[in-house]
Amino acid sequence: MLLAYLPILIWILLCAGLALAIVFLSHVLGRKRPTGAKLSPYECGITPVGDARSRFPIKFYIIAVVFLVFDIEAAFLYPWAVIYKKLALVGLLEMAVFMAVLLVGYLYLWKKRVFDWED
Amino acid sequence: MELPVLSLVTFIPLVGAIVVLLMSSENEKAVKATSTVFSGISFVFSVVLMVAYNRAIPDFQFVERASWIPQINVWYYVGVDGISITMVFLTALLSFMSVIGSFGIKDRVKQYFALFLLLQTAMTGVFVALDFFLFYVFWEAMLVPMYFLIGIWGGPRREYAAIKFFLYTLLGSVAILLAILAMYFSTTPHTFDIVELGKTHPFAPGLQMILFLALFLGFAIKVPVFPFHTWLPDAHVEAPTAISVILAGVLLKMGTYGIFRISYPILPDAARDFAPFLAVLAVINIVYGALVAMGQKDLKKLVAYSSVSHMGYVLLGLAAMTPTAMNGAMLQMFAHGIITGSLFLLVGVIYDRAHHRDIDGFGGLAVQLPIYTGIMSLACFASLGLPGLAGFIAEFMTFVGAFPVFKTIVMISAVGIVITAGYFLWTLQRMFLGKPQEKYAGFPDLSARELVTLVPLQVLTVFIGVYPWLIIDFMNSSMESLSHFLRGV
Amino acid sequence: MNEYALGQGLWEMGFAAAVPFTLVALSAMAVLLADLWLLPSQKRALPWAALAGVLLSAASVAFLWNEEATGFGGAIRLDRFSAFFAMVFLLGTGLVVLLSSAYARREGVERGEYYALLLFGTSGAMLMASAVELVTFFLGLEILSVSLYVLSGFFRQRPASAEAAAKYFILGAFASAFLLYGIALFYGASGSTTYAALRESFGSAAFPYSHGLLALAASGLLLIGLAFKLGAVPFHMWVPDTYEGAPTTITAYMSVVSKAAAAAAFIRVFGASLSSLQQDTSAVLWVLAVVTMTLGNVVAIAQTNIKRMLAYSSIAHAGYLLVALTAAGEAGYSSVLFYVLAYVFMTLGAFGVVSLVRKGEGGADAGAEALDISHYSGLAGRHGLLAAAMAVFMVSLSGIPPTAGFFAKFYVFSAAVRAGEVGLAIIGVLNSLVSVYFYMRIVFLMYMKEETVPVRGSRSRAGWVALAACVLGTLLLGVLPSSFARLATESIASIF
């Protein structure tokens, strides 16, 4: 049975081999004339300034997390809507429970003033 | 409905402990009075027990039985026979005396008496329990109050003594616990019933050996049998007077009681095989204990080592297995309880006055404290086995009973008597004879309270010495039937 | 469909099985929301609200005591077993809430989230005990764990608390991964994740050999995940640091509820469903039990911080639980249940005392927690009742009668002997002998030493009520264990 996958294995090996070979060849054959600009992390953009690990307001983190939660809610609603008829009353109730739980979270966030961007 | 006398004897002190705990710690007099009353009631019931006990039959009497933990077949099962009744009485008597003897306690009085009464319940419980589980619970429950009583109210090295006592005894208890579990699971149906096991003794000889050794470890530490005795001098010396009385008078007896009650009836084959070893250990206890006692400068340590020596006689009687020897051993347990109990009380009396226990530091006390000297001499003579006093009868019976079985060992043991006489007489000489010392001139003689604790014990000592049947009558039928059973007669 | 029929329908679908933990979760949300509208001076009401939720759920458990129901497509089950554990968790939570009412205010963490997370954690634990399906079980575990990750770091300003949370979280996530992998393998081997299917697939020796290997690997992975939650050696590395750094009341909660939940899940999975694999797992459990007991007890001796000492003691007690789990069978498992109940009283009590003892006047940090063992010197002289309560718990933890700890250990070791594990029982008994040393050292310090650092006891009335309940429970279970043992036996019988 595993024999059926043999072509795929060969294909993977070929791809990997080709990629490695190109990098290797360019390393061996290519001419190297390093300059300061070429050695900088981003050769094609603005000159980097300062540390990449700078602090920025925690609000961004919170927004990201909150987005995740409500995005999942939306994603969950789609398939539910599609088979809504089949689920009938129980399905409605279950989704109501789900929404209610998220509503509690929403209220919590609201009162904690997560949505007030300006303090 | 019959009065549950045994439960009353056992649990009245516990009720007392709870009452004392609820009292105000300010009112020390009321605490002492309440403790005396509760311990006294327990003592009165133990006297009722003695009077109502039918001495002619070896069976268990005053039996109470109620289901406690039915899942694992554990019963609240108590009763007394000839092995335990004298011990119950001894416990109640010495506890009562010790409560009175503890009136001098000044520190944390309420806790002291509450713990003491708790201890009394646990001790009595050990002697009346006929269910292994119950027995073990009481056996262990004794540890904690004892630990506190030595550790809080003891002498300068009390912490060390308390933890040493605790760990030693606990090690022994663990061995007992394992033996109990092993017995429980090797019987069908599983049972903790000591009486039942004593009737059927259903274990194979090989298993008996293992069980006997495990139980013996636990009991030997309590007795204490050489070489497990090292906790005893520490605990005795550091413990407050009343607790030394209880330690020597009651706790040591639990080891030999355990052998009588559990090891012998349930494991007869192993008992027969081990008897010679027991006899050898007994003679070591007798002679070694006496020799070490002779070397002591501290009066309390001397009495402590004399206990090691005297418990050896009990072991010897046990090992011999003849009715006379076993009666002697049982009587020795009782006699040693009252004699050594009064010796420790007497040590406490002199320590309260002189604040030291150095034998050589005394001298000529006979002039200053005549009553004290009289009672001390009586107790020492009783302890060294003077005819006409309780100790003599017990030792004599033990030797007579053991001689046909272990001739050499008995002859060596007799040396112990000589040494014992030696160190007690020497002690009396150093303490009471010679020139009276100035610094002891103002000492008051025994107070009324001290006399109340001491005189009953002396009266009993003399009375048993003259009329030993008073006590032997209680144990004789049980001892005879146990002896016949063991020797297959 | 009329309303009655709907209710009837839901009931028939087994919604009853979800009622107890749903009530707890709802009260958690209520507490969380209520907190938003409370003024700072009204925050005192929070613990009482949480307690009300606990009582409400306990009432529902009592009401459903004799019911049996399976709900949500065979994912959760209500039986005596889950009811017993629900009661244990609720008891533990209720006592922790009482202890917290003063502690949290004192330490400046009296916030709705604190109590809400406690309740959420409890609902997770209850879900773990009533789950009869691996994914649901995992869900419960994660609800409990995530709550605990946050709670153990609740002292946000203190490095020790942050360290506690970080260590617990990282190692906990790792353990969860093991668990999930195990669940996946089980799914691969049996094609289902319900316990019933596991029992069917592996109940007879007839399953294909390769599936047997898969099941073994899966059991191993699942065992690692549960051993982590139990705090068994060698998966115990987080325990001392987390227990030391977390708020004391949370430590108490963790040591009781989280351990009990792991034991419950263990019994459901390995005891009731995978008993055919017992021969293979028992050898592993044997080793785990021995090293856990021994390491816990031996290392506890060397501790100078009381929370760390209790942490190692809780590792040791996990070892005793493992002894009972090794013994297996109805006797072994019912001894686990009894042990867990006894453990709630004695351990919560011990941690409760720790949470009430504070440094006294004088010194810069007066009022801070007195966590060094030496702070307990002479406690009896100053706070007789507190010292007496601690002494009861220490005596019980060392397993001396007539306390709950004695009978619990007796039950466990006799189950081991009954199962033929005599060696294990002997090692366990010797271990509890070792443990006496460090438990009695506390008693020794309290009663036989002079005070070195002035300490004082909190006067929190709620805290005292909780302690009194723990003392009573410890003594009651020791003197009259019979009816509780019967409860444990019946609970186990309900899942076999």
Mean pLDDT of C240-260: 93
Mean pLDDT of C160-176: 93
Q: What is the pTM for the complete model shown?
A: 0.88
Q: Please tell me which residue, B138 or C8, carries the higher pLDDT value.
A: B138
Touching status, chains A and C (3+ beta-carbon pairs under 8 Å): yes
Judged by DSSP in three states, B394 sits in helix
Domain count, chain B: 1
Judged by DSSP in three states, B157 sits in coil
Query: Across the interface, do B141 and C425 touch by the CB < 8 Å criterion?
Result: no
C231 pLDDT above the threshold of 50: yes
Chain B CB within 8 Å of residue C425 CB: yes
Tens of pLDDT, residue by residue over C37-93, are: 888 888 888 999 999 999 999 999 999 888 888 888 888 989 999 999 999 999 999
Question: For B181, which of C413, C443, C448 is closest by C-beta distance?
Answer: C413
Mean pLDDT of B276-293: 90
Quick count: other Cβ atoms within 10 Å of Cβ B439? 8
In a domain, C345, yes or no: yes
Here the tokens at position A26 are 């360019």
In a domain, C377, yes or no: yes
In a domain, C175, yes or no: yes
Q: Please tell me which residue, C342 or C367, carries the higher pLDDT value.
A: C342
pLDDT score of C211: 65
Mean pLDDT of chain B: 87
Interface residues on B facing C, Cβ-Cβ cutoff 8 A:
67-72, 111, 133, 136-137, 140-141, 143-144, 147-148, 151-152, 158-159, 162-163, 166-167, 170-171, 174, 177-178, 181-182, 184-185
Q: How confident is the model at residue A1 (pLDDT cuts 50, 70, 90)?
A: low
Chain C CB within 8 Å of residue A104 CB: yes
> What does the alpha-carbon distance between residue C407 and residue C51 come to, in Å, rounded to a whole number?
30
Q: How far is CA B361 from CA B356, B431, B437, C409, in A?
A: 8, 8, 10, 51
> What does the alpha-carbon distance between residue C469 and residue C467 come to, in Å, rounded to a whole number?
5
In a domain, C3, yes or no: no
Q: How confident is the model at residue C1 (pLDDT cuts 50, 70, 90)?
A: very low
In a domain, B353, yes or no: yes
Q: How confident is the model at residue B3 (pLDDT cuts 50, 70, 90)?
A: confident
User: Chain A: nearest CA to C36, how far in angstroms?
Assistant: 6
pLDDT score of C205: 58
Quick count: other Cβ atoms within 10 Å of Cβ A85? 8
pLDDT score of C11: 67
In a domain, C424, yes or no: yes
Length of chain A measured in residues: 119
Closest residue of chain C to B68, computed from CA coordinates: C482
- Closest alpha carbon to B422 in B238, B293, B264, B263: B293
Do β-strands C69-71 and B61-69 pair in parallel, antiparallel, or remain unpaired? Answer: unpaired
Q: Between chain B and chain C, how many beta carbons pairs sit less than 8 Å apart?
A: 72
Domain count, chain C: 1
- Residue B37's H or E segment, with its range, is helix B28-52
Q: How confident is the model at residue C418 (pLDDT cuts 50, 70, 90)?
A: confident
Q: Which structural domain range is residue C256 located in?
A: 9-493
Tens of pLDDT, residue by residue over B201-229, are: 788 888 888 899 999 999 999 888 888 88
**DSSP one-letter code for B154:** S
Tens of pLDDT, residue by residue over B348-358, are: 888 888 888 88
Tens of pLDDT, residue by residue over A72-117, are: 888 988 888 888 888 778 788 888 988 998 999 889 988 888 888 7
Question: Which of B136-145, B363-372, B434-443 is the most confident on average?
Answer: B136-145
* Interface predicted TM-score (ipTM) of this complex, two decimals: 0.85
> What does the alpha-carbon distance between residue C151 and residue C249 come to, in Å, rounded to a whole number?
10
Tens of pLDDT, residue by residue over B144-160, are: 899 888 888 887 888 88
The separation between CA B459 and the C-alpha centre of its own chain, rounded to angstroms, equals 19
> What does the alpha-carbon distance between residue B3 and residue B1 come to, in Å, rounded to a whole number?
6
Q: Which residues of C touch A107 (CB under 8 A)?
A: 33, 36
Q: How confident is the model at residue A18 (pLDDT cuts 50, 70, 90)?
A: very high
Q: How far is CA C17 from CA C116, C129, C134, in A?
A: 22, 11, 16
pLDDT score of C179: 93
Q: How confident is the model at residue C141 (pLDDT cuts 50, 70, 90)?
A: very high
C210 pLDDT above the threshold of 70: no
Q: How far is CA B449 from CA B89, B98, B101, B149, B346, in A?
A: 22, 11, 7, 22, 13
Question: For C29, which of A90, A104, A112 is closest by C-beta distance?
Answer: A104
In a domain, B387, yes or no: yes
Query: Across the interface, do A90 and C37 touch by the CB < 8 Å criterion?
Result: no
Q: Which residue(s) pair with C457 in the sheet?
A: C357
- Closest alpha carbon to C324 in C259, C235, C273, C400: C259
pLDDT score of C125: 95
Mean pLDDT of C149-163: 91
In a domain, C418, yes or no: yes
In a domain, B315, yes or no: yes
Percent of chain B with pLDDT over 70: 100
Task: Tell me the H-state helices in B295-406.
Answer: 299-320, 323-354, 365-368, 370-384, 390-402
Query: Across the interface, do B137 and C395 touch by the CB < 8 Å criterion?
Result: no
pLDDT score of C42: 85
Tens of pLDDT, residue by residue over C288-341, are: 999 999 999 999 999 999 999 999 999 999 999 999 999 888 888 999 999 999
In a domain, C132, yes or no: yes
Q: What subunits touch chain C, counting only 3 or more CB pairs under 8 A?
A: A, B
Q: Between chain A and chain C, how many beta carbons pairs sit less than 8 Å apart?
A: 17
Q: How confident is the model at residue C243 (pLDDT cuts 50, 70, 90)?
A: very high
Here the tokens at position B315 are 């072991």
pLDDT score of B385: 85
Q: Which structural domain range is residue B385 located in?
A: 267-489
In a domain, C4, yes or no: no
User: Chain B: nearest CA to C482, how far in angstroms?
Assistant: 5
